Structure 1
Amino acid sequence: MPTVGTSIRGLGELCCKPIGRVVRDEPVPEQVPRGREAVIAYGEELMKRRARIVLEKEYCEGLRGARKGMLLWVIWVADRAPGGEDAPITVRPFMDEALPVTGVFLTRSPARPCPLGLSLVYVEDVEECSLVVRGIDAYHNTPVLDIKVYSHGLDSPQEVMRRARSGEELAETAR
């Protein structure tokens, strides 16, 4: 699999070698609709469909210990979206003209300076060198850069908010 490279302003070239790819048995339309409700419905439909994450042979051992029922983060490249230096820094969320222009980092737009996608997936099955998952909103043959285990203690929004509030309380006490 070829290395995915993108130019990062001020940092030069950042290259990542994909560890695998997304394989979908049933085709999904790649034309994203416009408007909040339509985009959300499209994303939900895509995430309901089963997909397979097939690793390159040299990374198969990296799945050791994976099992059905796990939650995993999958980091992938939005390789069909305009990205890199030509990507817009502001967009209209959901491509909806009725919504205000917003900074791209506060949206889910795939068109961004570093076009990475992040999906929290549910593992339905583990095969030799692949995972059968639900929850990924990437297309067929999308390059996968990394997989990380979901940690309730570190990744849970409730835990993050609890720690943030605790930190605020500690900062107030220290004054």
Structure 2
Amino acid sequence: MARWEPGATQRLVVAAVDLFTEQGYDATTVAQIAERAGVTKSTFFRHFADKRDVLVAGQETLSTLLAEGIAEAPADASPLEAVAAGLRRASGAMGPTNRELGPRLKAAVAASAELQERDALKSVGLAAAMTAALTARGVADPIAQLAAELGVLAFRRGFARWSEGDREDGEGLAPHALSALADLRAATAALG
């Protein structure tokens, strides 16, 4: 097995999602993931603390991109316009591998309570990053929290539409995430 081949993180994620889909999360071992990815078990642990952490590969980068996009939005942007800027920025980091893995990862999460818990924590982390970026812009805390939660929901809904949609459409994630944010914004009007 190669020890330092490039792309180990991505190979580990793909291997884990494949195994979670084929045999279930509980039946999948770290050794199996490492073997499928063509790396050693110790290489796995250099990238992830445990097999649950495969689910959140890239979360820190995603949180950073969302926050940077919000921070770089025009000074006169509304909180949701700033969130849209964050969604555009983060969407640019999502490529074909993310799109391919999306439906399989969704199925693996749906089949495992442990993964559902970790997925929920991922959402909390993304919302916290966006809330902090919005409050740094001077947005009042309750508004920042609400806008961030809508941003997370828009990202998730947009990602689902994109990853489960027509692979030949040539669109990236951004139009789907922004459309989901617009839908949510319109839905808030019905709340009264």
Normalised to the residue count of structure 1, the TM-score between the two structures is 0.31
Larger strand percent? 1
* Structure with the larger RCO, 1 or 2 (CA within 8 Å, 6+ apart): 1
